[in-house]
């Protein structure tokens, strides 16, 4: 990639932990730059397209399948939200159709069905709002997550807590007050979902908002502040479910041709 | 966007708003982690463009004003839960709630204890935030400030059944938590471009988690009352969005149920709105979620979006429980 201080290419999740990359990321964010997240970021938990793959395969894959999220404008932030809503909606659509769904109690079936409806609504709303600026539909991999009632509820819980963290983290980066309000209308629904799922799995009476269990999502119990994560910290949480080996995620083009 | 664009933008904004914007711009410059220059060049004019009265439906208020308002609401919640649990500094409050407290299961005690602890932490956090922003947090004397019966000091108001009847208390608690969610949502726009925004958002989503748990407790107690969802979300608007209330009884007179129904009508006013406005970078676009393509069969889209309340709407809801007039 050409040296350009306004473009930061993230090739794997570990890179986000390196101080130089983080500085570059923040600088790009502050200067109105572009952050490019290569598919390998999303495939971080898979082997077939990791750094071990043949270079020419990896490169072809990168060129054909790259997400560009300009996190310094509202369109990019909404596209980031759209990706997460696609993920949630796809999970619930498959969950209600799974065999294990029948293991759920009647209240739990109502819960998961409501969540399916809400997340599909969010997905369709953002798709319509973004229009031609929307990223293309992603493909997802939920292998093993529909094995039982517990895997369904626990996976759903992780996805919803991720959503709360992502929206809370994105709020500061939105520039338009109407867009902020829409994000606010959605994030509290995600929070209700998360609490409902935690409560469905709970016997203690506190899991609905036990922030000591949510430090991985950025929550702080000492000050009773809920989840918050910036986008680079959210994406590794979503990565295990984003399927880049069967149906590649193809979500836009690089602003600059990578030279590997 | 260049700074030259700022002046025409300001021309389009109502005069009394401009002073707030200038103050906010200075605040942004002080707190920016990216430096004042970058934000002045990029973020601020964009933020200004979104802050016209027409865009948000309320006159803007200062960050300190938002924080002080939130502090009053959090104080109210914290003092209520202290009273319910018998840990209030006001002996009369503890005594009043003793009957309902005696009916709690250990799990219910754990739930309300977490509610109380979170609201106390929010009070402390907001006090520190106000001090940090150069203000002086208001200290509320609970006995002189709050009347949980809704009697503004009589302590015999229509919500007194909350001290003896668990289902009435839970219904009121749901209304209080949902009011908190809607209040923060209504104020968030005034914090755009400040670091305070993220903190408010994090409190806002936690209040939603609280509300969801209370809704699930109510639904579990009344499984046929499907207007209260196991998903913790809010269906429809107005009094029905509060869900069904317990029947009148010796402990819960009809007048109290009517008062709670009327409170729900205020608390959930406009919650059934399905039209949401997004800005695509050049224009505001209103989208009706109810008519989107690809919705799930049978979906009620009012569950998927929570709506804001204005400060005036929130004041109308909480004033009966606050003895001094809220200014």
Question: What confidence tens digit (pLDDT) does each residue in B240-254 have?
Answer: 999 999 899 999 999
Q: Tell which residue, A147, A140, A28, has the closest CA to residue A84.
A: A140
d(C-alpha A228, C-alpha A161), whole Å: 9
Among A105, A195, A197, which would you mutate to test the B interface (most chain B Cβ atoms within 10 Å of its Cβ)? Answer: A195
CA of B278: which chain A residue's CA is closest?
A179
Using a CB-CB cut-off of 8 Å, the residues of chain B touching A194 are: 209
| Helix, strand, coil shares, percent, chain B, to 5 | 60, 5, 35
Neighbours of B142 (CB within 10 A): 18
CB pair distance less than 8 Å for A205 and B111:
yes
- Among partner residues B42, B201, B276, which is closest to A187 by beta-carbon distance? B201
- The string of pLDDT tens digits covering residues A72-86 is 789 989 999 999 999
- Among partner residues A133, A168, A209, which is closest to B209 by beta-carbon distance? A209
Is the CB of residue A132 less than 8 Å away from at least one CB of chain B? Answer: no
CB pair distance less than 8 Å for B188 and A107:
no
Is the CB of residue A115 less than 8 Å away from at least one CB of chain B? Answer: yes
Q: Can you give the C-alpha Rg of chain A in angstroms?
A: 18
Using a CB-CB cut-off of 8 Å, the residues of chain A touching B107 are: 203-205
Q: Could you tell me whether strands B275-279 and A67-69 are parallel, antiparallel, or unpaired per DSSP bridges?
A: unpaired
CB pair distance less than 8 Å for B46 and A175:
yes
- The string of pLDDT tens digits covering residues A117-136 is 999 999 999 999 999 998 87
d(C-alpha A173, C-alpha A77), whole Å: 8
Q: Tell which residue, B279, B47, B42, B6, has the closest CA to residue A74.
A: B279
Query: Residue B321: what pLDDT?
Result: 98
Is the CB of residue A22 less than 8 Å away from at least one CB of chain B? Answer: no
- Entry field: residues in chain A: 260
Cβ neighbours for B25, distance < 8 A, ≥ 6 positions apart: B40, B44
| Prediction ipTM score | 0.84
Q: Domain A72-249 falls in which CATH fold?
A: Ferritin (1.20.1260)
CA of B186: which chain A residue's CA is closest?
A181
Q: Which residues pair with A34 in a beta bridge?
A: A7
Rounded to the nearest angstrom, the minimum Cα separation between A60 and chain B is 32
CB pair distance less than 8 Å for B303 and A114:
yes
Helix (H) and strand (E) counts for chain A? 8, 3
Helix (H) and strand (E) counts for chain B? 14, 2
CB pair distance less than 8 Å for A196 and B216:
yes
Distance of CA B250 to the CA centre of its chain: 32
CB B13 within 8 A of CB B48: yes
Tens of pLDDT, residue by residue, chain B (327 residues)? 333 333 333 333 333 333 333 344 333 333 333 333 333 333 333 333 333 333 344 545 689 999 999 999 999 999 999 999 999 999 999 999 999 999 999 999 999 999 999 999 999 999 999 999 999 999 999 999 999 999 999 999 999 999 999 999 999 999 999 999 999 999 999 999 888 999 999 999 999 999 999 999 999 999 999 999 999 999 999 999 999 998 999 999 999 999 999 999 999 999 999 999 999 888 999 999 999 999 999 999 999 999 999 999 999 999 999 999 998
Is the CB of residue B90 less than 8 Å away from at least one CB of chain A? Answer: no
Sign of CA dihedral B212, B178, B264, B87: positive
Residue A231 structure tokens: 């986008």
- Among partner residues B210, B278, B301, which is closest to A178 by beta-carbon distance? B278
Residue A155 structure tokens: 């996976």
- Entry field: residues in chain B: 327
Could you tell me how many CB contacts below 8 A there are between chain A and chain B? Answer: 265
d(C-alpha A103, C-alpha A99), whole Å: 8
Is the CB of residue A38 less than 8 Å away from at least one CB of chain B? Answer: no
Q: Could you tell me whether strands A34-37 and A7-10 are parallel, antiparallel, or unpaired per DSSP bridges?
A: parallel
Structural element, H or E, at residue A8: strand A7-10
Neighbours of A212 (CB within 10 A): 10
CA of B60: which chain A residue's CA is closest?
A177
Cβ neighbours for A253, distance < 8 A, ≥ 6 positions apart: A66, A68
CB pair distance less than 8 Å for B198 and A206:
no
Residues of chain A with pLDDT under 70: 1-69, 244-260
HSE-up of B245 (CA within 13 Å, CB side)?
28
Query: Residue A123: what pLDDT?
Result: 98
Q: Tell which residue, B211, B231, B142, has the closest CA to residue B171.
A: B211
Query: Residue A260: what pLDDT?
Result: 35
Query: Residue A66: what pLDDT?
Result: 61
CB A102 within 8 A of CB A188: no
CB pair distance less than 8 Å for A195 and B209:
yes
d(C-alpha B188, C-alpha B231), whole Å: 25
Cβ neighbours for B119, distance < 8 A, ≥ 6 positions apart: A224, B74, B77, B78, B81
Domain locations in chain A? 3-64, 72-249
Using a CB-CB cut-off of 8 Å, the residues of chain B touching A107 are: 219-220, 223, 230
Please state the φ and ψ torsions of residue B275, each to the nearest 5 degrees. -100, 120
Rounded to the nearest angstrom, the minimum Cα separation between B254 and chain A is 30
CB pair distance less than 8 Å for A205 and B49:
no
Query: Residue B10: what pLDDT?
Result: 33
DSSP assignment string, B72-83: HHHHHHHHHHHH
Q: Which of residues 215-244 of B touch A (CB under 8 A)?
A: 215-216, 219-220, 223, 229-233
3-state DSSP call for residue B286? Answer: strand
- The string of pLDDT tens digits covering residues A155-190 is 999 999 999 999 999 998 899 999 999 999 999 999
């Amino acid at each position: 990639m050409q040296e350009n201080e306004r473009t930061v290419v993230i090739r794997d999740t570990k890179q986000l932990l390196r101080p130089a990359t983080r500085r570059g990321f923040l600088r790009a964010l502050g200067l109105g730059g572009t952050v490019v997240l290569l598919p390998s970021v999303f495939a971080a938990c898979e082997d077939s397209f990791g750094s071990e793959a043949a270079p020419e395969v990896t490169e072809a894959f990168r060129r054909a399948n790259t997400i560009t999220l300009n996190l310094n404008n509202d369109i990019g932030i909404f596209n980031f939200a759209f990706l997460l809503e696609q993920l949630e909606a796809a999970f619930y659509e498959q969950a209600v159709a799974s065999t294990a769904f029948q293991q759920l109690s009647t209240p739990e079936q109502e819960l998961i069905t409501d969540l399916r409806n809400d997340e599909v609504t969010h997905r369709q709303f953002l798709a319509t709002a973004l229009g031609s600026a929307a990223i293309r539909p992603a493909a997802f991999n939920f292998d093993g997550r529909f094995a039982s009632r517990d895997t369904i509820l626990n996976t759903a819980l992780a996805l919803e807590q991720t959503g709360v963290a992502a929206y809370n983290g994105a709020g500061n980066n939105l520039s338009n007050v109407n867009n902020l309000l829409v994000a606010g209308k959605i994030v509290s629904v995600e929070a209700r979902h998360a609490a409902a799922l935690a409560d469905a799995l709970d016997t203690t009476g506190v899991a609905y908002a036990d922030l000591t269990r949510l430090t991985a999502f950025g929550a702080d119990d000492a000050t009773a502040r809920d989840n918050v994560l910036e986008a680079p910290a959210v994406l590794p949480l979503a990565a295990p479910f984003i399927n880049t080996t069967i149906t590649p995620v193809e979500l836009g083009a690089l602003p600059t041709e990578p030279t590997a | 966007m260049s700074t030259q664009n700022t002046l025409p933008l300001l021309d389009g904004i109502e005069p009394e708003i401009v002073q707030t914007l200038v103050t906010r711009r200075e605040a942004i410059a002080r707190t920016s982690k990216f430096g004042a220059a970058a934000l002045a060049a990029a973020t601020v004019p964009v933020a200004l463009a979104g802050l016209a009265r027409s865009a948000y439906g309320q006159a803007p208020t200062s960050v300190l004003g938002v924080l002080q308002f939130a502090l009053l609401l959090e104080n109210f919640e914290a003092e209520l839960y202290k009273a319910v649990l018998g840990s209030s500094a006001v002996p009369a409050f503890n005594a009043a709630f003793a009957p309902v407290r005696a009916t709690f299961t250990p799990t219910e005690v754990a739930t309300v204890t977490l509610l109380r602890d979170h609201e106390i932490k929010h009070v402390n956090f907001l006090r520190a935030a106000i001090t940090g922003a150069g203000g002086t947090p208001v200290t509320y004397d609970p006995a002189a400030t709050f009347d949980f019966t809704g009697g503004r000091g009589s302590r015999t108001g229509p919500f007194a059944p909350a001290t003896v009847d668990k289902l009435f208390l839970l219904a009121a608690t749901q209304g209080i938590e949902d009011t908190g969610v809607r209040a923060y949502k209504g104020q968030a726009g005034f914090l755009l471009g400040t670091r305070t925004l993220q903190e408010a958002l994090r409190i806002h989503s936690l209040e939603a988690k609280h509300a969801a748990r209370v809704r699930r407790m109510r639904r579990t107690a009344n499984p046929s009352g499907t207007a209260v969802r196991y998903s913790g979300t809010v269906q429809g608007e107005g009094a029905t969005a509060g869900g069904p209330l317990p029947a009148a009884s010796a402990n819960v007179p009809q007048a109290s149920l009517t008062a709670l129904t009327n409170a729900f009508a205020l608390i959930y006013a406009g919650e059934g709105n399905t039209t949401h406005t997004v800005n695509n970078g050049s224009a505001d676009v209103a989208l009706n979620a109810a008519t989107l393509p690809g919705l799930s069969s049978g979906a009620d889209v009012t569950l998927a979006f929570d709506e804001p309340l204005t400060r005036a709407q929130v004041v109308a809801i909480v004033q009966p429980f606050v003895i001094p007039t809220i200014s």
